[in-house]
């Protein structure tokens, strides 16, 4: 009964996190549209804002000394985004054009950046230098995007009351996320203790799914409205934000990585997911339902292998 109560409480908190993140995203999206932000940059920006739960959970985990929970959440989040969220979206939508959203050079660079935390973590510790590398490469990616026929993001500043209300709504959502992240980390640690599994695995398999509910919501909405570029930009924006967040957390405090079988499987899963995603996008400059099914199959294989060795 105690375990069931923990699971229900954890699920309820994840749902509350999703609702709070949705408040932030809806306000930021409307504010960006009001200020004339292009669709591509809006997707990248939403990707960053939908990763707010991951950042706050990671920050709280670092404060509590549970950096393995943060690492599992962020690495698992990238797998969820590229395999499950993108895969299911493709199954529903059938095809999504990669060009003109992303060039082949950008896809290769994004894939390399998504995998960059792995070699930086082989020593079992991600320190300030590695964090600086991850943050610097993220800024370099944004520069590369700006060179790819898009230009730097520009805003048309307007000080009307609606925009102020939108900004206030986003701040309120962020405040709620800050409070909820404390509960979510505590509940994840309790759940790991009750199940007798490492907190890294809880972060990798459970928390990663819960904190990515905002991305799932955005992807479903965008594809239902046939806004494929926005949705793809949001998914990739959220995925690269995970590596960026690892860098930020490493700059604040060294991250201890729990090297072991679970981490090795997670690393291999991430490599396979990124490779399948990049090759699928590269092959025809579009993602199809078949490739979506392949990505979903890769995710459930990843899930099965992790649970089998638990």
CA–CA distances in Å: residue 222 to residues 49, 84, 214, 253: 16, 16, 12, 36
Helices and strands (DSSP H and E) totals, the chain: 15, 4
Q: How far apart are the C-alpha atoms of 45 and 249, rounded to whole Å? A: 20
Query: Per residue in 85-130, pLDDT tens?
Result: 888 777 776 566 665 567 778 888 899 999 999 999 988 888 899 9
* pTM for this prediction: 0.82
Give me the pLDDT at residue 137, please. Answer: 94
**Cα–Cα distance, 35 to 29 (Å, whole number):** 10
Contact criterion met (CB below 8 Å) for 131 and 247: yes
Name the 3-class secondary structure at 102: coil
d(CA 17, CA 214): 9
Which pLDDT band, with edges at 50, 70 and 90, does 251 fall under?
A: very high
Round to whole Å and give the CA distance between 187 and 259: 23
Least confident of 123-127, 196-200, 237-241: 196-200
Q: Tokens standing for 275?
A: 């490779």
Tokens representing residue 147 in the block: 């060179």
What is the pLDDT, as a whole number, of residue 203? 77
User: Ramachandran region of residue 103, left (φ > 0), alpha (ψ -120 to 50) or beta?
Assistant: beta
Name 96's bridge partners: 287
Tell me the per-residue pLDDT of 29-73, one tens digit each, with 9 for 90 and over.
777 777 766 667 777 777 777 777 788 888 888 887 778 888 888
Q: What's the pLDDT score for residue 134?
A: 95
| CB under 8 A, 24+ apart: contacts of 248-251 | 248/55, 248/131, 248/135, 249/58, 249/59, 249/62, 249/67, 249/70, 249/131, 250/126, 250/127, 250/128, 250/130, 250/131, 250/134, 251/128, 251/131, 251/132, 251/135
DSSP labels, 257-274: P--SHHHHHHHHHHHHHH
User: Which one has a higher pLDDT value, 113 or 292?
Assistant: 113
Measured in degrees and rounded to the nearest 5, phi and psi for residue 127 equal -95, -165
Mean pLDDT of the chain: 78
User: Phi and psi for 285 in degrees, rounded to 5?
Assistant: 55, 25
The pLDDT value recorded for residue 310 is: 63
What does the CA dihedral 97, 102, 104, 109 come to, rounded to 10 degrees? Answer: -140
What does the pLDDT read at residue 98? 61
Kindly report the CATH number assigned to the domain that includes residue 97: 1.20.1420.30
> What pLDDT, on a 0 to 100 scale, did the predictor assign at position 246?
92
Expressed as residue numbers, the domain containing 61 is 2-308
- Work out how many domains the chain is built from and give that number: 1
Closest among 36, 84, 49, 81 to 236, alpha carbons compared: 81
């Amino acid at each position: 009964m105690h375990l069931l109560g923990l699971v229900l409480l954890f699920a309820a908190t994840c749902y509350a996190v999703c609702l709070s993140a949705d408040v932030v995203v809806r306000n930021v999206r409307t504010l960006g549209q009001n200020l004339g932000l292009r669709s591509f940059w809006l997707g990248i920006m939403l990707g960053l804002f939908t990763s707010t739960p991951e950042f706050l959970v990671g920050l709280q985990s670092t404060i509590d000394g549970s950096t393995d929970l943060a690492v599992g959440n962020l690495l698992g989040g990238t797998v969820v985004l590229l395999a499950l969220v993108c895969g299911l979206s493709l199954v529903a939508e059938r095809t999504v054009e990669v060009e003109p959203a992303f060039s082949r050079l950008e896809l290769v660079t994004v894939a390399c950046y998504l995998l960059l935390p792995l070699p930086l973590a082989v020593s079992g510790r991600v320190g300030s230098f590695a964090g600086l590398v991850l943050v610097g490469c993220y800024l370099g990616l944004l520069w590369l995007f700006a060179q790819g026929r898009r230009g730097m993001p520009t805003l048309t500043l307007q000080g009307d009351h609606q925009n102020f209300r939108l900004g206030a709504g986003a701040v309120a959502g962020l405040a709620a996320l800050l409070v909820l992240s404390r509960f979510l980390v505590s509940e994840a640690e309790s759940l790991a203790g009750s199940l007798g599994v490492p907190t890294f695995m809880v972060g990798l398999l459970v928390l990663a799914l819960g904190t990515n509910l905002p991305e799932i919501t955005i992807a479903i909405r965008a594809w239902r409205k046939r806004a494929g570029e926005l949705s793809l930009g949001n998914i990739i924006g959220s995925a690269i934000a995970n590596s960026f967040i690892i860098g930020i957390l490493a700059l604040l405090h060294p991250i201890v990585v729990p090297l072991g079988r679970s981490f090795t499987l997670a690393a291999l899963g991430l490599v396979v997911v990124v490779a399948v995603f990049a090759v699928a996008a590269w092959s025809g400059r579009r993602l199809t339902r078949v490739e979506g099914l392949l990505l979903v199959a890769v995710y459930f294989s990843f899930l099965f292998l992790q649970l089998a060795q638990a």
